[in-house]
Amino acid sequence: MRFSEFHDIEALESELYTCTMCGFCKQVCPVFVDEGWDTAAPRGRMTLAYGLLSGQLDVDDSVLDRLYQCTQCHDCARKCPSRAACPDVVLAGRREMVNRGHITTRQATLVDNVHRTGNIFGDPEAGVPSRQGTLPVFIGCQYISRPNSVKKIIRLLETLGVDPLVMDESCCGFPLRILGFDEAEKEQQLRLREQFPMDDREILTLCPSCLKQLREVYGQSSMHILQMLDRTLDTIPVMTPVQTRVTYHDPCDLSRGAGIMDEPRRLLAHMGADIVEMKHHHDTSRCCGGGGGILTWDEALSLRMSVSRIEEARRTGAEMLVTACPTCEQNLKRGAQAEAEASGHPAMPVRHIMDLLIRAVR
């Protein structure tokens, strides 16, 4: 089977021919920065995709590695002067690999978890209590596994005069989409639509990737909780100021994906934090190493990227690294521990911005 037999070949060919192999993408790709090989850069992946499309390249482990080592951070798309959509080409390549049967045990387990239990963890008991209200809140897999945090967030929203509506839900399908499981994702979309109302109401999301999926795939009007908090900033009482020098890590799906960058910084400043920026911040932020499903493929590479981000944060002189994505938080904590063990320094504290806010308003 060749790429020409795949359903989105016309769009794929157009993007491949748009790439001029200029190499501007190399300097912003976290995988290339770590690996150093051209095949690890976006333009290298474009070349691999062309080889598969033309039938001049057979699939082997090295091709699979390059397709699944992409973090889908979209910084190459931002930097590309030709506006070639390399991330979309990678996703098309992944879908083709799944169609050809190149599926790992870890990937198959994740898909099975979602289909059996509605969440990526395969936990049939995972969930948070339902609540009647007017503003639909989409919790997401990562937060369903953190019921105590969700309860605190709901309580905070109530304090701010928001009336949250919490219902039974299922995975948004983003993890399936990002790994190339096209048919499985479509089935999951149908499942979610049956459970969670997709109507004219704007949905409040807690997870950046869920926000991206609801907007791009479901066409659903959605906002991230940081956007809502930013709109009501003056009404948020700060009882215990943060009073700490912090640096903020922009999650890829929240910054380049949704353009939400100033809102978390205004919220941190409102809490009394002294903000210092890393070299790569706002829409030039580097991936934490947890994006694009890379944790199901190359944990060692993921860890090295998270360590690199921790080292960048440490160079700012900040006392704490803050982010707004649960996946980023988890991966950066892994990186902080590994960096501390290698350097002999105390581990850099990594915190989720919502945890800081909940403490600040108590």
List the CATH number of the domain containing 337: 3.40.50.11810
Domain shared by 58 and 158, yes or no: no
Show which of 195, 214, 230 is a domain's final residue.
230
Q: What is the pLDDT of residue 10?
A: 53
Domain shared by 185 and 143, yes or no: yes
**Residue at 307 is within a domain:** yes
Domain span at residue 143 reads: 135-230
Show which of 84, 99, 114 is a domain's final residue.
99
Amino acid at 200: D
Domain shared by 171 and 252, yes or no: no
Per-residue pLDDT of the chain (362 residues; tens, 9 = 90+): 344 444 455 567 778 888 888 989 999 999 999 999 999 999 999 999 888 888 888 899 999 999 999 999 999 999 999 999 899 999 999 998 999 899 999 999 999 999 999 999 999 988 888 999 999 999 999 999 899 999 999 999 999 999 999 999 999 999 999 999 999 999 999 999 999 988 889 999 999 999 999 999 999 999 999 999 999 999 999 999 999 999 999 999 999 999 999 999 999 999 999 999 999 999 999 999 999 999 989 999 999 999 999 999 999 999 999 999 999 999 999 999 999 999 999 999 999 999 999 999 97
Query: What radius of gyration do the chain's Cα atoms show?
Result: 20
Beta-carbon count within 10 A of 133 CB: 16
Domain shared by 69 and 15, yes or no: yes
Domain shared by 161 and 94, yes or no: no
**Residue at 111 is within a domain:** no
Q: What is the pLDDT of residue 11?
A: 62
**Residue at 27 is within a domain:** yes
Domain shared by 247 and 224, yes or no: no
Does residue 89 contact residue 15 with C-beta atoms inside 8 Å?
A: yes
The total of structural domains in the chain comes to 3
Secondary structure of 203-228 in HEC code, one letter for each residue: EEECCHHHHHHHHHCCCCCEEEHHHH
